[in-house]
Structure 1
Amino acid sequence: MSTDYQQAREAFGISLRELRFTCPSGNLTGTQLASALGWPHSKIYKCEGGRQTITEADLRRWVDACGQPEQLPGMLARLRGFESQIRSWRRQLSAGHAPVQSSWNVEVGRSHVIHAWEEAVLPGMVQTADYARHIFTRYGTFFGSTQDAEEAVRVRAQRQEWIYQRGHTLKVIVWEAALRARVCPPQVLAAQLDRLAGLVGMDSVELGIVPFTAPLKLPTANGFWIFDDRLVVTEDWHAELWLDDADNVSLYGRVWATLDDSAVYGSDAHNVINAARRALNAR
Structure 2
Amino acid sequence: MTTDYQQAREALGVRLRELRLSAPDGRLTGSALARRLGWPQPKVSKLENGKQTATPEDLQAWTEGTGQPDVYDELLARLRGFESHIRSWRRQLASGHKPVQDTHLAEHTTASVFRGWEPSMIMGILQTPDYARHIFTRYTELQQSPHDTEEAVRSRIKRQEMLYNPAKRFHIIMWEAALRALICPPSVLAAQLDRLSGAVGLDTVELGIIPLSASLRIPPATAFWIYDDSRVIVETWHSELWIEDEASVSTYLRTWNTLRESAVYGADAHRVISSARQALDIP
Return the TM-score normalized by structure 1: 0.97
Q: What's 1:147 paired with? A: 147
Q: What's 1:270 paired with? A: 270
Q: Give me the whole-angstrom Cα distance separating, in 2, the residues matched to 1:3 and 1:237.
A: 18
Give CA deviations for 1:62-85 in whole Å, capped at 9, x if unaligned: 112222233222221111000111
1:281 is paired with a residue whose SS is coil
Question: Residue 104 in 1 paired to residue 110 in 2?
Answer: no
Counting only pairs closer than 5 Å after superposition, residues 154-173 of structure 1 correspond to structure 2 as 154-173=154-173
- Measured after TM superposition, the shift of residue 282 of structure 1 is 7.4
Q: What's 1:224 paired with? A: 224
Q: What's 2:68 paired with? A: 68
Question: Residue 52 in 1 paired to residue 46 in 2?
Answer: no
Q: Give me the whole-angstrom Cα distance separating, in 2, the residues matched to 1:250 and 1:4.
A: 17
2:117 is paired with a residue whose SS is strand
1:242 is paired with a residue whose SS is strand
Could you tell me which amino acid in structure 2 is paired with residue 214 of structure 1?
A
Give CA deviations for 1:166-191 in whole Å, capped at 9, x if unaligned: 21011100000000000000110001
Structure 1: tracts of 5 or more residues without a match: none
- Measured after TM superposition, the shift of residue 280 of structure 1 is 1.2
Q: What's 2:210 paired with? A: 210
Q: 1:282 to 1:151 in 2, by over 3 A?
A: closer
Question: Residue 193 in 1 paired to residue 193 in 2?
Answer: yes
Contact 2:187 2:282 in 1 (8 A): no
Give CA deviations for 1:16-37 in whole Å, capped at 9, x if unaligned: 1111111222211001111111
Name the stretch that deviates more: 109-118 or 49-58.
Answer: 49-58
Q: 1:175 to 1:7 in 2, by over 3 A?
A: same
- Measured after TM superposition, the shift of residue 49 of structure 1 is 1.2
Could you tell me which amino acid in structure 2 is paired with residue 148 of structure 1?
D
Q: Give me the whole-angstrom Cα distance separating, in 1, the residues matched to 2:138 and 2:63.
A: 41
Q: Give me the whole-angstrom Cα distance separating, in 1, the residues matched to 2:64 and 2:229.
A: 41
1:130 is paired with a residue whose SS is helix
Could you tell me which amino acid in structure 1 is paired with residue 42 of structure 2?
S
Question: Residue 21 in 1 paired to residue 17 in 2?
Answer: no
Q: Give me the whole-angstrom Cα distance separating, in 2, the residues matched to 1:33 and 1:282.
A: 65
Contact 2:190 2:282 in 1 (8 A): no
Contact 2:128 2:192 in 1 (8 A): yes
Counting only pairs closer than 5 Å after superposition, residues 110-125 of structure 1 correspond to structure 2 as 110-125=110-125
1:105 is paired with a residue whose SS is helix
Name the stretch that deviates more: 128-137 or 194-203.
Answer: 194-203
Q: What's 2:281 paired with? A: 281
Q: Give me the whole-angstrom Cα distance separating, in 2, the residues matched to 1:113 and 1:258.
A: 18
Q: Give me the whole-angstrom Cα distance separating, in 1, the residues matched to 2:280 and 2:21.
A: 65
Q: What's 1:129 paired with? A: 129
Could you tell me which amino acid in structure 1 is paired with residue 102 of structure 2?
S
Structure 2: tracts of 5 or more residues without a match: none
Q: Give me the whole-angstrom Cα distance separating, in 2, the residues matched to 1:263 and 1:3.
A: 32
Q: Give me the whole-angstrom Cα distance separating, in 2, the residues matched to 1:219 and 1:54.
A: 35
Q: Give me the whole-angstrom Cα distance separating, in 1, the residues matched to 2:281 and 2:14.
A: 60
Q: Give me the whole-angstrom Cα distance separating, in 2, the residues matched to 1:18 and 1:126.
A: 50
Q: Give me the whole-angstrom Cα distance separating, in 1, the residues matched to 2:74 and 2:80.
A: 10
Give CA deviations for 1:241-282 in whole Å, capped at 9, x if unaligned: 111221211111111011001101001101100111111117
Contact 2:118 2:174 in 1 (8 A): yes
- Measured after TM superposition, the shift of residue 193 of structure 1 is 0.5
2:202 is paired with a residue whose SS is coil
Return the TM-score normalized by structure 2: 0.97
Q: What's 2:246 paired with? A: 246
**Paired residues, number:** 283
